[in-house]
Amino acid sequence: MSLRTIKAPELPDGHTWFNTERPLRFGAELKGHVVLLDFWTYCCINCMHILPELAELEREYRDRPFVVIGVHSAKFENETVPENVRMAILRYGIEHPVVVDRDFMIWHSYAVRAWPTLVLVDPEGYVALAMSGEGHLSMLDDAIRSLLEQHHQKGTLAAQPLTLRRESQVSAASGLLFPGKILTDIENGRIFIADSGHHRIVVADLTGTVLFTIGSGKQGLKDGEFSEAQFNHPQGMALLDSILYIADTENHCLHAADLQQKVLTTVSGTGVKVFDFKGGGLGTKQPLNSPWDVAVVGDVLYIAMAGSHQIWTYDPKTQIAEAFAGTGQENIIDAHRTRAALAQPSGLCVQDRYLYFADSEVSAIRALDLDQGTIRTLVGKGLFEFGDVDGDRNAARLQHPLGVAAWKDTLLVADTYNHKIKQVDPQDGGAKTLFGTGRSGLGFPGKESAFYEPGGLTVLGNLLFVADTNNHRIVRVDLSNREWSVFQLKWTKKVENNSTSRELLSEIVIAPGLVEMEVDIVLPPDAELTPDYPIHLHVEGGPILVENAARDLRFDSPALPLQCEIQVTDAATTGTLLVDLDFGYCLKKNGVCIPSQMGWILPIRLHPDGKTHIPLTASFIDSGSQQ
């Protein structure tokens, strides 16, 4: 049977959508459009690889009736939560609509078997093409162009492309955006942060004062002076003398940043992903595949090559990069390094003669004996064996860990999708929870810590620094007494604020001291707050607020109106409060999720007899009634 005779199953009602203000259906909005369905899950490196190709197709056909729709069919339990999917959409810069495929309903209706799978639907709603895996850009381009021409001549093509709304978010007070890996420099008292969402490396001292950044913040691939250099979602770093080596993940490159001359140079990688499972090429003639982390042993760099499911080495003296461990098969097989199978290694650390790595797709922590050349698994069982279980090596389960660090004679693990930091015994295996509740959150100083998909760890003595990725912050934990705090960055110049536009309000007179802020949200009659979508409130106050002049608050399953306290100082007689609100609501009639933002500029004058209560109201009646 020809694919052209198969009618594309309709996209069902009652699912959460992102990057669109309404659900999309073949029988309505999508009629007359060429539609490319991308079945993906946000942990999958192969799914990440095709996102730039989809973006290229979207740019090429942006003025034609062509739509890409991501169908997010989750592998891990953590990936079923809509808010977590939204975070991935923002982290990867996805601009096309995404539907959260609850319980694999759409997946099964299209008989999909693997991530990623691409299904091309013609303007009359028939399946024209279906394929799995990567590397189909040329074929898709030809097929899309052909379908657009055929249906233009046939008169079945829509006159105009759809106009859709992209996701947005409120900027974090930290100045960071989805920080990935993190590294401490004991000798020079520095900390290096991969500010992945801003495509740069932030270098600070141990008090949090930002010394300089590596990279302009523009997404791209460019060597040169730090202020002009460009990255594409950099991740892992390793320090060798005065050279900081950087895994530029989505550029598929390894860079050397000279910290004395402040110049960035690409030392390996072509900028293009290639499936080479052997390597051996010189310098920038050797292609790489999504390098995710880097570690130094002696004078050799070890690279977690997530895209090819291997560990590679790079020798700065010979400039040769080559495969060291793993066959390239995605699996969990312990053996000699040349016969072992790995699954998306994403975090590295070194202790004694062992290279330990977080093998994320098998939810495992594994050990590579650099003397014997053998690999053994400490925690983890298989591609679909995961959970949140403490216990010995047979019972313990992790969920997509991304980071690992050595501390004394143990290992600390960023158990990313469980939102925890765990401890693993490198001798006997097994794992136990040290920090985190198991639910995404911000936590409260002096109480239990909480994280939101932490991705990187580094240890300095008894201090643990955590890149709390989806909370856009760095957390510092004292391992000797379990006390924790947010590692506040102090910027010497204003950080660009990418928040939503703000409404200017009339001046209000308030009294110094503790002031209660109350924020109400008025929704359309047919709407309700989105489940699993926490409300974020960001408050800045120039010289009139204490607590570093900014607060980031998160409310899980809140009662309205929101209530919080801010501490106002009398250091100035006037000031301005900047308040940004980020939340989501659902329309009951069709179940579509609508992420929403609102901001206020509130001029403040201080007086001892002023108010101690600030009311704010965010009304979405008009926007909801237009849906």
Give the largest CA-CA distance in the chain.
Answer: 81
The rounded percent of the chain whose pLDDT value lies above 90 is: 73
pLDDT score for 549: 54
Burial of 512 (0-12, 13-18, 19+ CB in 10 A): middle
Whether the bond into 401 is cis, omega within 30 of 0:
no
Going across the sheet that includes 279-282, the strands are 279-282, 320-325, 310-315, 300-305, 291-297
Could you tell me the pLDDT band of residue 531, with boundaries at 50, 70 and 90?
Answer: low
Could you tell me the pLDDT band of residue 627, with boundaries at 50, 70 and 90?
Answer: very low
pLDDT score for 497: 37
Whether the bond into 595 is cis, omega within 30 of 0:
no
pLDDT score for 524: 82
8 A C-beta contact, residue 458 and residue 406? no
C-alpha–C-alpha distance, residues 502 and 626, integer Å? 21
Tell me, what amino acid is at 489? L
pLDDT at 494 over 80: no
First to last CA, the chain: 40
Model pLDDT for residues 451-479, shown as the tens digit of each residue: 999 999 999 999 999 999 999 999 999 99
- Average pLDDT along the chain: 91
Model pLDDT for residues 221-280, shown as the tens digit of each residue: 999 999 999 999 999 999 999 999 999 999 999 999 999 999 999 999 999 999 999 999
pLDDT at 589 over 80: no
pLDDT score for 493: 52
Q: What is the mean pLDDT of residues 435-442?
A: 92
The rounded percent of the chain whose pLDDT value lies above 70 is: 93
Model pLDDT for residues 321-338, shown as the tens digit of each residue: 999 999 999 999 999 999
pLDDT score for 543: 66
DSSP assignments along 497-538, one per residue: P-PPPEEEPPPEEE-SEEEEEEEEEE--TTEEEPTT--EEEE
**Regarding beta strands 98-100 and 66-72, do their DSSP bridges make them parallel or antiparallel, or are they unpaired?**
parallel
8 A C-beta contact, residue 128 and residue 147? yes
Residues across the chain? 627
* Domains, the chain, ordered by start: 3-154 (3.40.30.10), 502-625 (no CATH)
Please give the angle made by the CA atoms of 142, 36 and 17, to the nearest 5 degrees.
160
C-alpha–C-alpha distance, residues 136 and 35, integer Å? 16
Q: Which two tokens stand for residue 410?
A: 């143990």
CA distances for 349 relative to 181, 192, 320, 358, 458, angstroms: 12, 16, 21, 9, 9
> Which residue do the tokens 């040290």 mark?
434
